[in-house]
Amino acid sequence: MRRFPIAVLIAVFALLIAATSAVAVTGATDTQANNPQIAGDATSGTTARFPTNKQNEPTIAIAPDGAHVIAGANDEQKQPKCGPGPQRGATAPGSDCSFFPGVGTSAVYTSSDGGATFTNRGMLPGYNDTGAAVAASAGPLATSAPAGSLVSDGDPVIAFGPKLRNGTFSWANGARAYYASLAAFSAAGRPGNQFAEQISVSISDDFGGSWYDPIIAAQSHGNIFNDKESIWADRNPASPFFGRVYVAYTEFRPISETAEPVIFVSSADGGLTWSGQKQVSSAFNNRSRGGRQGTALRTGPNGEIYLVFEDSDNKLGSQQVVVVSRDGGNSFSKKTTISAITDLAPAIPGSNFRTDSFASVGVDQNTGAAYVAWADAGSGSGRILVSRSTNGGQTWSSAATVSTSGEGYAFFQGLDVAPNGRIDVGYQALKATDPTTFGQGNATINSYYVSSTNGGLSWSTPLRVSTVGSDPAASAQNNLQLPKPAPPTDCPAQFGNSDIFVSKISP
What is the 8-class DSSP label of residue 259?
A: B
Q: What is the number of H-type helices and E-type strands within the chain? A: 1, 28
Domain 8-86+99-467+478-505 class in CATH: mainly beta
Q: Please report, rounded to a whole number, the percentage of residues in the chain having pLDDT higher than 70.
A: 74
Mean pLDDT of the chain: 81
CA distances in angstroms from 501 to 60, 371, 374, listed in the order given: 11, 26, 22
- Mean of the pLDDT values across residues 108-131? 85
The per-residue pLDDT for 321 is 96
CA dist., res. 336 & res. 334, Å (int) = 7
Q: How much is the average pLDDT of 185-213? A: 79
What are the pLDDT digits (tens) for 238-261? 999 999 999 999 888 765 556 788
pLDDT at 175 over 90: yes
The string of pLDDT tens digits covering residues 57-75 is: 999 999 999 999 999 998 8
Which residues, in sequence order, are bridge partners of residue 411? 428
Q: What is the pLDDT at residue 80? A: 78
With CA atoms as reference, report the closest residue to 303 among 239, 236, 354, 238.
239
Gyration radius of the chain's alpha carbons:
22
- pTM, rounded to two decimals: 0.88
Query: Residue 439: left if φ>0, alpha if ψ -120 to 50, beta else—which one?
Result: left
The stretch 133-145 carries a mean pLDDT of 42
Q: How deeply is 194 buried, as exposed, middle or buried, from its count of CB atoms within 10 A (0-12, 13-18, 19+)?
A: middle
Residue range 163-176: mean pLDDT, rounded: 97
The angle subtended at Cα 37 by Cα 34 and Cα 39, nearest 5°, is 130
